[in-house]
Amino acid sequence: MDELENQIKNLNVLVVGDIILDKYYLTDVSRISPEAPVPIARFKCETNILGGAGNVTLNLKKLGVENVYSVGIVGVDNSGKQIQEMFKCEGIKFMPVFSSDDTITKTRILSDGKQLLRLDFEKNVNSYSNLSKQIIKEISDVISNIDIVIVSDYVKGCIRKEVLDYLKTTGKFLVADTKSTDIENFSNFNLITPNFPETCKIAEKLRYTERIENTNLSIEKVGKFINSKLKSNLLITRSEMGVSLIDSDVNHCNIEKAKVFDVTGAGDTCASIFSCLYYLKYEKNKALNLMNAAARLTVSNIGNYAPTFLEVKKEFLKEEFDYVLTKNDAIKKMLELKAEGKKIVFTNGCFDILHKGHISYLTEAKAQGDILVVGLNSDASVKRLKGESRPIIDENSRSFVMSNLKAVDYVVIFDEQTPCDLISALKPDIHVKGGDYKKEDMPETEIVEGYGGEVRILKFIDNNSTSKIIEKIRKYG
């Protein structure tokens, strides 16, 4: 996933939408008021968080996107000043459009992790109608540098038709996370991200006549209907029923249950990470699973929690993570192990459809030292090496199986054609390959011997290969 992390890092993303200041008053409640049957909340502390479109930008920044831009409306009050300072501290390039109205603020009073009350401070949405030209000007100043534009529309007045019409002229990758019922204004966006209730409202507005249920079949039907009407792809989040992507085909993804502390901001998290993955044309099912992992982290924490890429990666890989390392994590781990005097053995391969030959080879490889690290070719790398029909087993399944083998201590997935870059970074004491390789023909040899390591060729095990297994399956079914 190192390549994906770098791709996300290099994106330029603009978020346009309703900026909200989320205030959290944390309190203790131990008694009921004698004045009325309400709890007495004793104030402990206050936390301020970027909300609305601000939370989308924060999610992008925490995810690792270096260049995050934001255009939105704030007042000239203290809340507006706080928001500008928060953007600055997070390294987000904020272009504020100032209103004479106070900044939209939501104040939540919590005790023991649960909300007691929410107070909303906001004016009528029509009060911003005269600010659209200024919003368009701010967008136009940066749009040439932008890859993705995310419209975060909480229907608070920032996003109006003229702004959307301008965005459609830019030719940029457009994503809409909107609560608006004027859904026709978002036609021809690359992606729209409604939840299930919002999908039902959109369908009703577009005069869909069938009954809508939160099932794969029903969602597929209504999703295709909306897609055909709006000419926009859909990412439909469906609470405990998972998520569905409706574009040229249909992808459904179940969601693993999580302990829910607060659903605030979960939609922002989903829109942020999936927009990046979808723009990068990351494999759809993996993208949906990564998004679900991010959402689990958000709802498992209080408030607008924005997970980092490392946190998402850990949640995605779960128990395998102790053994499946990123390149950077592997470098740190190898330094620790070498400091303990451990001899590191490295080998690499696709390991697609694990068989007896693989197990024998890995067992012998482990016997060469103390720790065996396996460099595993990513799906993209296998495809380049073996052809479009491979791999048979995806990289996450292969890494999970590999990491649970007795002989294997750690697995690192790499995207390159050869493991040369990975070997240069890890500097294992011994690099081993099977008997069907010749040391002098391997590009790794010069690298390993260059830093004082050793290359060993193990005994060749005949009549064992994934290709032969696939050929036999195809022949006999």
Residues assigned a catalytic role: 268
d(CA 25, CA 297): 22
Under 8 Å between Cβ of 388 and 308: no
Residue in the structure block whose two tokens are 């204004």: 185
Cβ atoms within 10 Å, residue 404: 12
CB 37 within 8 A of CB 70: no
Token digits for 259?
């302990």
Please, which residues bridge with residue 15 across strands? 70, 150
Q: What CA–CA distance (Å, rounded) separates 455 from 429?
A: 9
Burial readout 332-354 (b: 16 or more C-beta within 10 A, e: otherwise):
ebbeebbeeeeebbbbbbbbbbb
Helix axes 284-299, 266-279, angle to 10 degrees: 160
CA distance 190 to 174: 5
Residue from 412, 414, 383, 381 nearest 399 by CA: 412
> Which of 357, 358, 353 is closest to 397 using CA atoms?
353
